[in-house]
Amino acid sequence: MEFLDTPGHAKHHFSIYDPISNGMFTGDTVGIRYQQLINEGVGLFLPSTSPNQFSPHDMKSSIERMQERNLSRIYFGHFGMTESPDKALRQVVEWLEIFMEEAEQVVDVEKGYDELSRRMLVRVREYLRGKGIDDNHEVYILINLDMQVSALGIIDYYKKLKQ
CA pair distance 60, 100, nearest whole angstrom: 12
Per-residue pLDDT at 123: 98
pTM, whole model, 2 decimals? Answer: 0.93
**Residue of 56, 48, 49, 44 whose CA lies nearest to 140:** 44
pLDDT of amino acid 104: 93
Q: Sheet containing 23-27: give its strands across.
A: 2-5, 14-18, 23-27, 73-76, 81-82
Homologous superfamily of the 2-162 domain (CATH): Ribonuclease Z/Hydroxyacylglutathione hydrolase-like (3.60.15.10)
User: What confidence score (pLDDT) does residue 106 get?
Assistant: 95
pLDDT score at 95: 98
DSSP type of residue 84: -
Per-residue model confidence (pLDDT) at position 58: 94
Going from N- to C-terminal start, the domains of the chain cover 2-162
SS3 assignment, position 50: coil
pLDDT computed for residue 11 by the predictor: 80
* 56 C-beta neighbours (distance < 10 Å), count: 19
Positive or negative, the Cα torsion across 117, 123, 128, 132?
Answer: positive
pLDDT of residue 145: 96
pLDDT of residue 10: 79
Query: Environment class of residue 162 by beta-carbon count within 10 Å: exposed (0-12), middle (13-18) or buried (19+)?
Result: exposed
Q: What is the pLDDT of residue 99?
A: 97
Q: What is the mean pLDDT of each run of 10 residues along the chain (163 residues)?
A: 86 91 94 93 94 92 96 91 96 97 93 96 98 97 96 93 78
